A and B are shown apart, each in its own frame.
Chain A
Amino acid sequence: MKKLWNNKTTRTNLTTYLVVTVAFVVMQLMSSFGQLGSAMKGYLIPVCAYIVMAVSLNLLVGVCGELSLGHAGFMGIGAFTGIVIAALLQDAIPNDTLLLVVAMFAGGIMAGIFGFLIGIPALRLRGDYLAIVTLAFGEILKNIFSNLYVGLDSEGLHMAVSTGKVQLLEGGRMILDGPVGATGITKLSTFPMGFVLILFTLFVVLNLINSKEGRAIKAVRDNRIATESVGINVTAFRMKAFVVSAFLAGMAGTLFGLNFSSLQASKFNFNASINVLVFVVLGGMGNILGSVISTAVLYILPEAMRGLDDLRMILYAVVLIIVMLFTWSPSVKNAVQSVTASVQEKLRKNKKEAVNNE
């Protein structure tokens, strides 16, 4: 056990699992003792979903070094696939937890397939251009979701991309209704299941990072040309990271989607993608625990400042800019250092004088 603890990677990974578990147990206890407000309770599952989103995007941005601006698109695929699957199999699978798990995997696999299809053209590009193409795919997916009509009746599923095309038999109902979105969703997501999904995601991502594949992916990030020259298939590894990331985002989407009774495609817009990116960058690129913590804090922060009303989003923006300046800017860092140094100097002097005076 001690030997295990001495290994730095294992230690970091175990700490990550430990922090998440402790946070879950504390929240669960607080919730069962009625210490959590109803607003706070409402955030538990979305926070879980966004943590999974952030960790999966960190695999792409932090570990693989590819900027994606359309991650919410995969979340959307997962959400709407999960909703349709859950509605379809509602009678076949009586157990809610099992149904949720099946829906999550369906959502994840669908998002993974789309990730693969999008990856074929997108991964030919690099840097900012890849970012732009992912942005474009995200917008296309959102556009398609908001014009997708899916109905369910005794004959099965009916799908169309324009209004009025879905004709249902008696007793049928619309699952997705174009711009109105999904309505009448059976809420299947629970906080413990969100926790299990986070653990699953951590397990997948942490093991991937510390495997042979992960080292290859990191090598691609650090120097693509050198990696290629030692015989590593760069495109294949970028694709692997991209598909795994999309798969996990899809699962997060299902968890998120099955938490609300109605859901519109606009939830998965450009701003949602950007928010996840903010979580990842502020948490530290490539730092998985950092993503988890920054997501939890930053998701709750604007909500906790609700008392400030109009000012809260401005404050959020200012905090964001200031944190970025303090953590990244060399000139600001130097200024902070010189200020702290001079303060320390003064304190030391005062101490000395105090000693001398005695």
Chain B
Amino acid sequence: MQIIQYLINGISIGSVYAIIALGYTMVYGIAKMLNFAHGDVIMVGAYISFCVTNYLGLPAIVSIIAAMAVCTVLGIIIEKLAYKPLRGTSSLAVLITAIGVSYFLQNAAQLIWGTAPKNFTSIVTFKPFSFADGALVITGEVIITIAASVLIMVGLTLFTGKTRMGKAMRAVSEDRDAAQLMGINVNQTISMTFAIGSALAAIAGVLLCSTVPTLQPTTGSMPGIRAFTAAVIGGIGSIPGAMLGGILLGIIETFSKKYISTEFSDAIVFAVLILILLVKPTGLLGKQVQEKV
């Protein structure tokens, strides 16, 4: 029974990683850049939700919508101001700029909300379900998190598969120049990708802080790096890969904490990443691109 409990908890935290990883993977797929500021967008989303519920006293659902709206706008602004002027130059330049944005968001949050951790109230109000006389407890957060990630996954698959914008995104990620020649507005498509990624980050932030209720300016960094790892495990650039990588990572993390060592769970997670990359250099579901001479 215990093992099922850990499995469910692992899937739950893994779902959060998966939602964040989707943001990384979509941006990487389309703009070929490692967006290290993504983790901090999560933190901003969580703070917005916190403020809307605690200071304005509005219901949880409104706070989530507000967080998504703010993060979407933030994502588009960041892309326009910091990344777009550097498009087509060295990828290292964009990476450093992303780091600059990350510093900026963290320190701006520190200036606005202070360093003291805030106690985030969970958005879930219903009671945990208990099975087999309390041996298996499924909290409301777990249910909401898993349900949200499944919904997002289905929604994104439909979006990229069926809509014009989604198809344009896939085309741009495959070959930007060819897509442009086919009349696709590349700039608009990239903005859209950042918007979707940031909105997902907001949801992830709310879900993350509902499970782990301490909120501070550095809240986003570690889950950000974890989710980035998840995206790479699944094959960066691949949407189902991000989902798979996130859930795998969550399960590995929970199990290694319970059965191997709490202290070394970080090392185990990253060692798994290295092992997977050695066997499959582009991740589990990544495409192997042949280099042309």
Residues of A in contact with B (beta carbons under 8 Å apart):
61, 67, 121-122, 124-125, 128-129, 131-133, 135-137, 139-140, 142-144, 146-147, 161-162, 225, 270, 274, 277-278, 281-282, 285, 310-311, 313-314, 316-318, 320-321, 324-325, 327-332
Closest residue of B by beta carbon distance from A327: B93
Give which listed residue, B86, B106, B261, B266, contacts A328 with CB less than 8 A: B86
Answer whether residue B181 sits at the interface, using C-beta atoms and an 8 A cutoff.
Answer: no
A314 touches B104 (CB 8 A): yes
B103 touches A313 (CB 8 A): yes
List chain A residues, Cβ under 8 A from B270: 136-137, 139-140, 143
Residues of B in contact with A (beta carbons under 8 Å apart):
34, 36, 82, 85-86, 88-93, 95-97, 99-101, 103-104, 106-108, 110-111, 221, 225, 228-229, 232, 236, 261, 263-264, 266-267, 270-271, 273-274, 277-278, 281-282, 291, 293
A329 touches B107 (CB 8 A): no
**Closest CB pairs A-B (n = 9):** A317-B104, A317-B103, A329-B85, A320-B100, A136-B270, A321-B100, A328-B93, A143-B267, A313-B107
With A225-B291, A314-B107, A314-B111 as contacts: A140 and B281 at CB distance below 8 Å:
no
B92 touches A281 (CB 8 A): yes
B278 touches A137 (CB 8 A): no
With A137-B274, A314-B111 as contacts: A278 and B99 at CB distance below 8 Å:
yes
List chain B residues, Cβ under 8 A from A142: 266
B99 touches A61 (CB 8 A): no
The secondary-structure label for the interface of chain B is helix
CA distance A147 to B265 in the complex (A): 11
B92 touches A121 (CB 8 A): no
Given contacts A146-B263, A313-B110, A325-B82, 4 further A-B contacts (CB under 8 A): A61-B92, A67-B95, A133-B274, A330-B85
Between A and B, 22 residue pairs with Cβ closer than 8 Å are A121-B278, A124-B278, A125-B277, A133-B273, A135-B225, A136-B229, A136-B271, A137-B274, A140-B267, A270-B221, A311-B111, A314-B108, A316-B103, A318-B104, A320-B97, A320-B103, A321-B97, A321-B101, A324-B93, A324-B96, A328-B93, A332-B85
List chain A residues, Cβ under 8 A from B104: 314, 317-318, 321
List chain B residues, Cβ under 8 A from A147: 263-264
List chain B residues, Cβ under 8 A from A331: 85
CA distance A61 to B92 in the complex (A): 10
Give which listed residue, A135, A282, A320, A330, contacts B88 with CB less than 8 A: A330
List chain A residues, Cβ under 8 A from B111: 310-311, 314
B92 touches A139 (CB 8 A): no
CA distance A314 to B100 in the complex (A): 9
CB distance from A149 to the nearest CB of B (A): 11
B281 touches A124 (CB 8 A): yes
List chain A residues, Cβ under 8 A from B293: 225
Closest residue of A by beta carbon distance from B115: A310
Give which listed residue, A125, A270, A332, contacts B281 with CB less than 8 A: A125
CA distance A37 to B93 in the complex (A): 35
Give which listed residue, A129, A310, A327, contacts B277 with CB less than 8 A: A129
Give which listed residue, B89, B263, B266, contacts A330 with CB less than 8 A: B89
Closest residue of B by beta carbon distance from A120: B278
B86 touches A129 (CB 8 A): no
List chain B residues, Cβ under 8 A from A324: 86, 93, 96-97, 100
B282 touches A129 (CB 8 A): yes
Give which listed residue, A136, A144, A329, contacts B86 with CB less than 8 A: A329
CA distance A278 to B111 in the complex (A): 23
With A147-B263, A310-B110 as contacts: A329 and B103 at CB distance below 8 Å:
no
List chain A residues, Cβ under 8 A from B88: 330
List chain B residues, Cβ under 8 A from A121: 274, 278
List chain B residues, Cβ under 8 A from A329: 85-86, 89
CB distance from B115 to the nearest CB of A (A): 10
List chain B residues, Cβ under 8 A from A274: 36, 99
CA distance A329 to B266 in the complex (A): 37
CA distance A285 to B95 in the complex (A): 14
